[in-house]
């Protein structure tokens, strides 16, 4: 649905995107993650032509974005809704008028437009607030209006630029649930730009990691989290102090074995003791995954590793020094 190949973009002398390639398929929830200034927003803005580019190619639904004339670009944007960190709603319009605006811009007949707004208000659960001034709403409610507005023209793709970064954790989850609903029920392909790993874990099926304008890792979200490389590790910060003696092993639990009592089985079968340093079970897109950090004495390390290999576990030895 979206193919980006060798994309390069400069602001003056500053090279913001460098040889970026990615491939988004219909129905994906595609994550673009990276630190502040990595070029995530710029990449996203290249997709709907808000930003031009000098190198490479961006093809959205078969069209090269930078070759579109103004009319073609408008048509493309009609197919691509966008939501923002700061919501970017019009303060002088009320909830209803904000959602109505894209429909007015496109000259949708009044009757039809009113129907559409009603549907959208229901979808985002703000029907009672329709005459409210935008300024009187909470952040989460504002983002819901942002989402409704972005969906007004029935786009096939929804671009989200840090859509939950200004929200508290609970509200973030409710917005992410809404996005998932939109993805699953309406079949909208979603691109999520964020620096919050939690967001990626909860909704994305594919991820690219951007650093300094380059893609440093990409793949299915599950795999990236089960076997995180250097780059991902930089973004996931565990706040567990590891035990300095012995060896700390991080075990990753994919969906199939997350619920099994694998650890106690290992202890029983090997007849060893180990201590638990820390761990977490997390809710992912449509599954539960977790990790557990255990500390094994050097004498038993070999045995444990062999057992882990035999049982097809995902694991890694953690570096102690730090």
Partner 1 sequence: MLNELIFALWETLYMIALSTLFSGIFGFAVAIVMILTGTNGLRPNRAVYSVLNIAVNLLRSFPFIILMIAIIPLTRLIAGTSIGSTASIVPLTIAATPFVARLMEGSLLEVDPGVVEAAKSFGAGDMQIVFGVMVKEAMPSIVLNWAVVAINLLGYSAMAGVVGGGGLGDLAIKYGYNRFQTDVMIYSVAILIVIVQLIQSVGNKVYEKIK
Q: Which residues bind partner 1 (CB under 8 A)?
A: 48, 50, 73-75, 77-78, 80-82, 84, 86, 88-93, 101-102, 104-106, 146, 149-150, 152-153, 159
Q: Does residue 285 contact residue 205 with C-beta atoms inside 8 Å?
A: yes
Nearer to partner 1 by C-beta: 179 or 249?
A: 179
The span from the CA of 81 to the CA of 134, in Å, is: 20
Of these partners, ligand ATP, Mg ion, partner 1, none, which one is at the site of residue 36 (CB under 5 to 8 Å by kind)? ligand ATP
Encode 239-265: b = buried (16+ Cβ within 10 Å), e = exposed.
eeebeeebbbbbbbbbeebbeeebbee
Q: Does residue 78 contact residue 19 with C-beta atoms inside 8 Å?
A: no
Q: Does 164 bind ligand ATP (CB under 6 A)?
A: no
The H or E element spanning position 311 is none
CB of 17 to ligand ATP, least distance (A): 8
CB of 322 to partner 1, least distance (A): 40
Nearer to Mg ion by C-beta: 159 or 232?
A: 159
DSSP category for residue 265:
H
Residues 33-52 that bind ligand ATP (CB under 6 A): 34, 36-42
Of these partners, ligand ATP, partner 1, Mg ion, none, which one is at the site of residue 140 (CB under 5 to 8 Å by kind)? none
Helix ranges, the chain (H): 40-47, 70-78, 95-105, 110-124, 139-151, 169-185, 197-203, 221-226, 230-235, 262-270, 298-310
**Measured CA distances, 131 to 138, 141, 147, 225 (Å):** 15, 13, 17, 44
CB of 80 to ligand ATP, least distance (A): 18
Tokens 């180990």 belong to: 274
- Sheet with 14-24, edge to edge strand ranges: 14-24, 2-11, 55-60, 63-64
Of these partners, Mg ion, partner 1, ligand ATP, none, which one is at the site of residue 77 (CB under 5 to 8 Å by kind)? partner 1
CB of 100 to partner 1, least distance (A): 11
The whole-angstrom distance between residue 255's C-alpha and the CA centroid of its chain comes to 19
CB of 251 to Mg ion, least distance (A): 34
Nearer to Mg ion by C-beta: 41 or 98?
A: 41
CB of 21 to ligand ATP, least distance (A): 17
x/- mask, ligand ATP, residues 12-31, rule CB under 6 A, reads --x-x---------------
Q: Which residues bind ligand ATP (CB under 6 A)?
A: 11, 14, 16, 34, 36-42, 195
């Amino acid at each position: 649905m979206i193919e980006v190949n060798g994309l390069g973009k400069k602001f003056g002398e500053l090279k913001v995107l460098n040889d970026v390639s990615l491939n988004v398929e219909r129905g994906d929830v595609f994550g673009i993650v990276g630190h502040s200034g990595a070029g995530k927003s710029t990449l996203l803005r290249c997709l709907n032509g808000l930003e031009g580019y000098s190198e490479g190619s961006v093809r959205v639904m078969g069209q090269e974005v930078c070759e579109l004339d103004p009319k073609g670009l408008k048509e493309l944007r009609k197919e691509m809704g966008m939501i923002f960190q700061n919501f970017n709603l019009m303060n002088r319009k009320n909830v209803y008028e904000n959602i109505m605006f894209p429909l007015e811009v496109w000259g949708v007949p009044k009757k039809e437009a009113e129907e559409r707004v009603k549907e959208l208000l229901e979808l985002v659960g703000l029907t009672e607030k329709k005459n409210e001034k935008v300024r009187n709403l909470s952040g989460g409610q504002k983002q819901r209006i942002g989402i409704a507005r972005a969906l007004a023209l029935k786009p096939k793709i929804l671009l989200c630029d840090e859509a939950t970064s200004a929200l508290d954790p609970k509200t973030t989850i409710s917005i992410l649930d809404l996005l998932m609903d939109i993805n699953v029920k309406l079949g909208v392909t979603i691109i999520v730009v964020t620096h919050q790993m939690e967001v990626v874990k909860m909704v994305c099926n594919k991820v690219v990691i951007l650093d300094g304008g380059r893609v440093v890792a990409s793949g299915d979200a599950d795999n990236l989290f089960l076997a995180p490389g250097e780059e991902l590790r930089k973004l996931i910060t565990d706040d567990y102090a590891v035990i300095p003696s012995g060896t700390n092993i991080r075990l990753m639990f994919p969906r199939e074995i997350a619920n099994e009592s694998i650890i106690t089985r290992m202890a029983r079968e090997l007849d060893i003791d180990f201590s638990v340093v820390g761990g977490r079970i997390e809710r992912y897109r449509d599954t539960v995954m977790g990790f557990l950090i255990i500390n094994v004495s050097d004498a038993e390390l070999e045995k444990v590793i062999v057992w882990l290999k035999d049982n097809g576990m995902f694991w890694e030895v953690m570096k102690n020094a730090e």
